[in-house]
Amino acid sequence: AAPIAEFPCGTIVYIDNGVIEPFYAVVLDTGYSMRYGYANNFIWFDLAFVSENDPAIHSATSYNTKYVVKRWGW
């Protein structure tokens, strides 16, 4: 999920936080916290994982994450 007005559905984003291997993500929906964050100068993405117990969740969280939009939504 992402702030949908800025990152429309289908947007492909390359994400690198320097901790885990960089990966691609696709924006599929939005949420209040993503829109709220963007309105307050934060870019928040909500990532889906296999389960809430996936150890990668903690490794993927960072305030120093770099992202590059590879393609804007459909």
- pLDDT, tens only, 25-51: 999 999 899 899 999 998 888 888 777
Q: What percentage of the chain has pLDDT greater than the value 90?
A: 39
Place of tokens 């993405």: 45
With 0.85 as the threshold, say if the pTM is over it.
no
Q: Where are the alpha helices (DSSP H) in the chain?
A: 32-39, 56-60
Which residue(s) pair with 14 in the sheet?
Answer: 24, 68
Smallest CA-to-CA distance from 60 within 15, 28, 14, 26 is with 15
